[in-house]
């Protein structure tokens, strides 16, 4: 991690750096606020990041954010002082000190259009699924489908949550749970056997970043998890639609997905056994929920923006 903020004084870099602050009610505070700050983030971006997606290269806007180091330190010191070093201390520690990423498209152009609604995904880091291509979970194909879906719409973002490996328990503990799963325990029972929480993640920071990226906008959330929808609504993000994201179902992860479905995840496995991986995710309307007394904006289906993809193809052709 890089906490020496002197880089801010390098010309050009300075224009890409923001300090973003929220009050106790999770409201974005005006720039330069001094009192009532509850959460402060350092945000860098956009940095251009060309990403290979299928046969295309799509240039995403990459933002990085981390909790202000003094705030992260205070959070951990308070936990220590209260003697709360329990088994989810790792999660609290890694969430407080992690650098998260946002891979975004179209925010500058579409934020000003009332009819445009971004499609977003909160993706918890998964080294085995995202990097190694492991089929013990569905993370890799979900990440790929989410990025493709955003590229197709031209407006949306994946928030890549780096401190949330193994639903927050970390990579080593995740490997231990895999051993326990080989003995017949499901993914949640394995956590419990290790005295670890079934799900140790929080999504407040992700919710704050969505409010920064999309001020006063509803979002369409790509998820099967009711927990993520509730968590975002709790910090005042208007989740107007759920976009189902079932991808990468294979024999090796069926037990894992069935365990998730039994814990309330909205996954109907039998419908997805022979899915076409290239079909766009299906949209499920959610009941409208007023946030802070304000009813969500009505939604109009978005026309796919192909400009980004055309641009990406041109870039690809130049490279070839």
**Considering beta carbons, is residue 167 or 220 the nearer one to Zn ion?**
167
Q: Which of 63, 287, 36, 300 is nearest to 159 (CA)?
A: 63
The nearer residue to Zn ion, 105 or 161, going by C-beta atoms, is: 161
Closest separation in Å from C-beta 174 to Zn ion:
8
Nearer of residues 133 and 264 to Zn ion, judged by Cβ:
133
Summary count for the chain: helices (H), strands (E): 11, 9
Sites of contact with Zn ion (CB under 5 A): 126, 129, 137, 139
What is the rounded CA–CA span in Å between residue 11 and residue 255?
A: 52
Query: Measuring CA to CA, which residue among 242, 166, 159 is closest to residue 207?
Result: 159
- Break the chain down into helix, strand, coil percent, rounded to 5: 40, 20, 40
Residue 123: CB atoms within 10 A of its CB come to: 23
Give the nearer residue to Zn ion in terms of CB position, either 103 or 139: 139
In the complex with Zn ion, the residue whose CB is nearer, 174 or 217, is 174
Residues 6 or more apart in contact with residue 195 via CB below 8 angstroms: 87
Residues 6+ apart with CB under 8 A from 77: none
Structure tokens at 279: 């079909």
Task: Name the burial class of residue 183, with classes exposed (0-12), middle (13-18) and buried (19+) by CB atoms within 10 angstroms of its CB.
Answer: exposed
Q: Which of 201, 220, 242, 247 is catalytic?
A: 201
Contact 312, 305 (CB under 8 A): no
| Residue 199 is a catalytic residue | yes
- The CB-of-138 to Zn ion minimum distance in angstroms stands at 7
Which residues are part of the catalytic machinery?
199, 201
């Amino acid at each position: 991690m890089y906490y020496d903020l002197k880089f801010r004084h390098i010309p050009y870099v300075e224009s890409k750096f923001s300090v973003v602050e929220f009050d106790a009610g999770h409201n974005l505070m005006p720039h330069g606020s001094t009192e009532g700050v509850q959460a402060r983030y350092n945000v860098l971006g956009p940095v251009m990041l060309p990403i290979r997606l299928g046969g295309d290269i799509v240039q995403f806007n990459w933002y990085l954010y981390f909790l202000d180091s003094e705030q992260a330190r205070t959070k951990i010191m308070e936990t220590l002082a209260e003697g709360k070093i329990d088994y989810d201390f790792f999660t609290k520690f890694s969430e407080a000190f992690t650098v998260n990423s946002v891979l975004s498209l179209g925010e500058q152009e579409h934020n000003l259009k009332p009819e445009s609604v971004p499609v977003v995904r909160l993706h918890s880091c998964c080294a085995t699924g995202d990097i190694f291509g492991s089929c013990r979970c569905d993370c890799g194909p979900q990440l790929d489908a989410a990025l493709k879906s955003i590229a197709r719409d031209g407006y949306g973002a994946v928030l890549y949550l780096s401190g949330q490996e193994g639903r927050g328990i970390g990579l080593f503990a995740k490997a231990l749970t895999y051993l326990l799963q080989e003995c017949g325990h499901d993914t949640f029972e394995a956590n419990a056997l290790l005295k670890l929480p079934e799900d140790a993640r929080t999504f407040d920071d992700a919710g704050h970043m969505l409010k920064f990226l999309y001020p006063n906008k509803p979002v369409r959330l790509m998820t099967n998890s009711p927990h993520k929808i509730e968590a975002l609504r709790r910090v005042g993000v208007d989740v107007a639609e759920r976009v189902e994201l079932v991808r990468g179902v294979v024999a090796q992860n069926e037990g894992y997905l069935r365990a998730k479905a039994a814990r309330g995840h909205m996954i109907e496995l039998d419908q997805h056994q022979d899915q076409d991986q290239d079909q766009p995710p299906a949209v499920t309307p959610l009941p409208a929920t007023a946030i802070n007394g304000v009813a969500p904006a009505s939604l109009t289906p978005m026309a796919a923006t192909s400009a980004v993809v055309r641009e990406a193809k041109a870039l690809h052709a130049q490279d070839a």
